[in-house]
Every structure is written in structure tokens, then in C-alpha cells.
Amino acid sequence: MVKEIEVLPEFRRGAIALGSVAAFRYQGTLEQELGRRLSKDEAVGLLEWMLAVRSFEQMVVAMKEGRAKPHEGFSFTGATHLSIGQEAVAVGTMAALRPDDYITSTHRGHGHAIAKGAYSLLGMNAEQLAEWMGESWEGQGREELLPRALQLHLNRTMAELLGREDGYCRGRGGGMHIADFHVNHLGANAIVGGSLGIATGAGLAAQRLENGRVVACLFGDGAANNGIFHESLNFSAMSQLPYGLPAIYIIENNQYGMTGQQRGEVTGIDCLARRGAAYNRDNMHAEVVNGMDVLAVWDAVARAAEVCRAKQGPVLLECLTYRYMGHSLSDQRVRYRSREEEDAWRDKDCIETYQQQFPDAGVMSEEEIASLRASVEERVAEALTWAAKSPEPDPATITEGLFAQSTSEDIGADLQTRELLRPTRTYRRDSEGRIMYRHAVCEALGEEMKRDRRVVLFGEDVADYGGAFQVTVGLLEAFGRERVFNAPISEAAIVGVAAGASMCGLRPVAEIMYIDFMPLAMDQVANQAAKTRYMFGGNATLPMVVRTTVGGGRGYAGQHSQSLEAMLTQVPGLKVVAPSTPYDAKGLLKSAIRDDNPVIFIEHQLLYTERGVVPEEEYTLPLGSAAVRREGKDVTLVAYLKMAQVAMQAAELLAEEGIEAEVVDPRTLIPLDVATIAASVEKTGRLVVVCQAPKTGCFGEHIAYRAQEIAFSSFKCPAKIVAAYDIPPPMAQTLEMENLPSPESVARAAREMLSA
């Protein structure tokens, strides 16, 4: 399919105008806003929740220093990354959003969590409040429910900070990883910039599902120097999208990464908002905002949300603020910044400068402000008492929440794709009912996209070209560019977007062209997609698939031929699939797409043109079920992907010598069907595991260990692993062939066992 846009050579002399970045556009006052855009109650609410955030974090300091002890023997351990001084950004942002809008947060995110929860609860009716609290709402009015809900919100936040079972994430996440998916808080993130891809994915989901939501992605100034920042902003502004994603990227510039300053030290620019010029013609509507003025933040985010809802996003805001404390409470901040600097920022304190406007504006007297402050401090103290009494998680529940047990198996007809641009392709079978492996993968994708309109496919070159290996040919023509589109060469963004989109209602299938490129995305794979469900107390589901390939045997050398599956199996929270036949590839991919967990689906490049019998009728295969490819009694050969073929060929060589080898293909590595492997070893007494990866640290070692753990008494001799050398894959054919396991080397290992 030829691209819609022709790229022609044009070399006209001229200049590229980048436009300007607005700075400190808002110059309003509380008195001006009252009765115009802000009610008296709303004005008081801004102060109340800034006080709540500060009081909460001051309580953290008191706990850490041993001054706050709700009971005898109490001690506090955990992260202490505080945002004292930055309250205006958190509260101003949340006040400007709709209750159902998404946010992502940072390791310095107590304020974001408190404000997001509060403003979402303030937007709920009685029934919604009762549901959020897990109560029956009948007979209870909103006036009765709301104060209890707001207190419970503070309680749960504090409980998570203390690692208690009643915390938002059941104590699994702690202070750096708080989320509440009931109010679309998609989680705080301890990886600098880690949530940028997730927020972009949430924006993609909002766009595709047309739910009118925006996502506010809050991150620190240090994250603006991170690769995922650039990848995510570029992704969100791509011209091929129907319109820019409804995402507001908010740089909470508190002047320091840890100790490094953005201005005059680790960047070459005076304002980070200037970077918006790199991503679209509107400079991403970039703006520098006074982050010490809650009204300025509220105004800027409200305008940004309007831009996004008008399909003119994304937006980049830089809120200039200051953290009064160090990076953490152990940070000796006086070693890298002066007292004069701190005092200058404290003179602009967001709470003090805001509340000073109250008497003249007729909102509250000084006595009423003092009373409000005392009330807030009392509620925070109550939250600490409640949280300290909350039970600690039972060690017996340590694995709970890692994997979702649900699938989309029983979805209704309302989720089917309503119209196709052209029929999906069913590949013609030969006289034996066979099609190629790559065609089986394509059929699975087409069938699942037709079955469920939430399934979207993106990756490098997957659209018009059909992917580097021509696997996805024809899908763009059937489903259009809203369902099948090319991603930039941005592996981290590809996976991060898939994670965020899956958390917000889509079921993405993302492609990473070669597994060798997976290290570029490993933060998003290992720290985001894999950990999100468990880290947030089992409250999230991430129905996403990342398709990738392994090579070897094509002369592509060290950076396109590796087998890095063990790197992925090391990460709890991922399922890893490795099919060796067309039949398995189709059935397992369909199951992977329906699964409500992150699945890494590995395809071998040398299998793409292999043929196998694939029924035209609907079928799926369960994840975690091995296949016995050949029965035998003398030795067990375990292998997956291309190596399963090698093992079968080795079994044929051995059969010529009267040796009966049983071949077991795991098909999925996580979960691993250890029972089938152990049962085979119990029959044969010998085990050879064949693996294309380097021997040291390969997944074959794990297979051998697990088999010996379960069936140790049946082993007649130690297990053997036939694998590659501990070298990067070489290019020269003689070296590459020597490096890869062969039928002869596998058969040789089996003979050695039998003669021992």
C-alpha cells in the first residue's frame, strides 16, 4: 500500500519560525475570580487541600524524626520524597480537571494523590461516594457521606505510606507508588519519567474510545532530560493520529533534579517549556506558569484541558516551583543551595500568598483561616492514628495481585468491530491444510481485531509495509489507520503507550521488531507494564501484548540475532510465549490478546515461512500448557521456538541408532508447564534442554533446575544444556553455525548421557 503523503525534494531557501512560548500569562487575583470563575467554596477548597497536602507531609517529617508516635513502639520506614512548597501545582491541577480525567504522578506524589482523590470525591453524588467507600448508599445523603469519604481518602493514603493492608495499594507500593484506579489516578512512579509513556497511552485510549477525558501527566524537571520524555511527546503529537492526543504534560520544575540544576547546569536553555517547539507546529501550546500561585496553575491547566477537549492537544506546561526540603530527608540540601535562595522562594510561599488574599476578598477572616488550618491538621492526625492501627499485610498473601485471573473470553457482541474497510484475509491452505507461520500470526491478529474493537496494533512499520517480516500485511486495509498505525522508532514509548492504553480500556498489540531492541524499552517493560498490577495492590489490569522476534542463522550478527527471552522471564508480572508451529502461533496469540495481563509474544524469524496445519475454524490454546511433540523412553529433549525443530531433528538422528527421545515443547515460558516436563523425565531419567541463547543465564538453566527440583529422584545423571557459546552472535557463517545448537550437537549430548 502506497503512503497517502508523497515526500518530494524541496530545497527552498528560507527560515523556520518556531514561534514564542508564553510566560506567566496569568496575572489575576482571588478577588477578580470570585463570582466569575470561582465560588467562595471553591476558593476555600483550594486553600484547604493545599493545607492538607502540607500538613500530611509535615506529619511524615515528624514521623521520620520520631516526634509523631501514634502508639508505643511505632516506627516509620519508607521513602520520604516530599513536595513541601509545591502544593499549588498539585491542587491547582486537580481543581482544573474533571473528576473522571486521568493523571499520572511521580515519586514526589503525595500531593497529587491527595488532591486528585479529594477533587474526584467532591465531584461524586451520594451513590458514587458510597460505592467508592464500599457501602450501601440508601438512606445516606451526600452531606453525610462526603466528609467520611474525604477522611477515608486521607486514611488510605497514610496507610499506604505506612505499608498497611488498608492502604490504597495494600501496602505493596508505599509512598512512591500510590494509585487509585477508582478515580483514574493511574499511579505514582519511582522511575524518573517512567509515567510519561503510560500517560501518552492513556491519551491514546481516551482518543480512540472518544470518552472526552484528558490525562494530566505530572513529572519533575529532571524527567524532561530523559529519553522517554522526548519519545512520549513526539508520539503524542504525531501527524498520523486523527488529532493530537488529549494529554497535558506538566513539568513540575522545582529547580533541582536531585542536586543538579536545570538552569545553568544540566541543560542549555532557560526554560524547559521551550522544548515544545520540537514536537508540533503549535509548540505544544507550551507555556511557563507561576507554580507558586495556585490560581495561575488552575487557570493554565483549565485552559490546557479545553485545548485538549477541542482536539487541539497535546499541551506542555512548565510550572516553576520550589521544594523546601531536600530530595529526601537524608539529603543535606545546604551543601548545594544557599539560605538566601531558600528564603527568596519561601517569600513566595503558595499557601501564604494565597491565604493573604482571603480577608480583602471577603472569603475568610484570619481567625477562620486559623480554624481551617487546625481542622486540617486534626484530620491528618486522625489519618495517622487510623493508619497505624490498620493491619500489616499477611505474609501468606505475598503473591496476591501479581496476575489477573480474568480474560476477555466472554465479551458481548457490542464490542465487535462494526464495519471493516475490506474483509480480513483468511490465507489459502495447501492440500494438507497448511499455511505459513507468519500468515497464522496475521490471521490471529485479524480475527481478534474483528472480534474486539478495543484491539489496536502499532509498532515500527507495521501499517503500510506490513512489518519488517511482512507479518501484518493487509491489516491496515481492513481496519484503517485508527486501528493499525506505525509508531516512531521509540521502543520505550511503544511499550509505555501500550501499558497506559491497556490500563484505560484498549487492548493493544505492540511490536518491537527485534528482541535485541527490547533493552531500549526495559524500563517500560520491567518497571512499568510488569509491576503495575502488583505494585498497585492488584487493582489494575493491563491486557497488552508485545510481539517481538528472535533471529539467528541469517548473518545479522550481534545486535539483531540475540535470544534475550531469559531477560524477560526474570521479570515477575509478565507472561512469555514462544510458539514453534503455525498452529501454536495462532492459538496462543489469540489467547494472549484475550488475557488481562502483559504478554511478551516471541516469534522466531526462521519460522515465518515454515508451514503447518492451521484450522480455519475458531480455536485458542491455553497459556502454560506444553506439548509433547514426540514420544520416547530413553531421553527427554526440551526445546522451544526454532530449537524445537532442532530437537525433533536430533530425535530422528537418535532413532536411527535405536535411541527413543521424547521431545517436549514448552510453548510458553511463563507460565512454564513444569509438570509435563517432569513427567517426561520421570519416564526417561535423562534431560537435555536446547536453547539458542548463550549458555550462562539462559532460560534452559531454569527449565533444568525446575525439572530436577520436582523429579530429582528420577534422574539417572545430571541434566545437560545445549546452548550457544557465551559470546555475542557472530556474523560469519562458519562462526554463526558453530554458535547455534544443531541436531548433531543435541544428539551428541544425548549419547553422552546414555553412555555415562
Residues catalogued as catalytic: 560
Query: Rounded CA gap, 26 and 296, in Å?
Result: 5
Q: What are phi and psi of 429, to 5 degrees?
A: -85, 155
Query: Rounded CA gap, 179 and 159, in Å?
Result: 13
Query: Rounded CA gap, 536 and 113, in Å?
Result: 13
Query: Rounded CA gap, 512 and 603, in Å?
Result: 11
Query: Rounded CA gap, 297 and 33, in Å?
Result: 14
Query: Rounded CA gap, 213 and 207, in Å?
Result: 8
Question: Which amino acid type is present at position 187?
Answer: G
Contact 189, 107 (CB under 8 A): yes
Run of H or E including 502: helix 491-503
**Which of 688, 624, 621 minimizes the C-alpha distance to 654?**
688
Contact 438, 190 (CB under 8 A): no
Contact 334, 265 (CB under 8 A): no
Q: Is the dihedral of CA 554, 559, 560, 566 positive or negative?
A: positive
Task: Please state, as a whole number, how many other Cβ atoms lie within 10 Å of the Cβ of residue 346.
Answer: 13
Query: Rounded CA gap, 675 and 713, in Å?
Result: 15
Cα Rg of the chain, angstroms: 29
**Which of 470, 505, 512 minimizes the C-alpha distance to 487?**
512
Q: What are phi and psi of 290, to 5 degrees?
A: -75, 100
671 preceded by a cis bond (ω within 30 of 0): yes
Task: Give 508's strand partners.
Answer: 456
Q: Helices (H), strands (E): how many in the chain?
A: 25, 20
Contact 44, 372 (CB under 8 A): yes
| Order of strands across the sheet that contains 22-23 | 22-23, 287-290, 315-320, 247-253, 215-220, 102-104
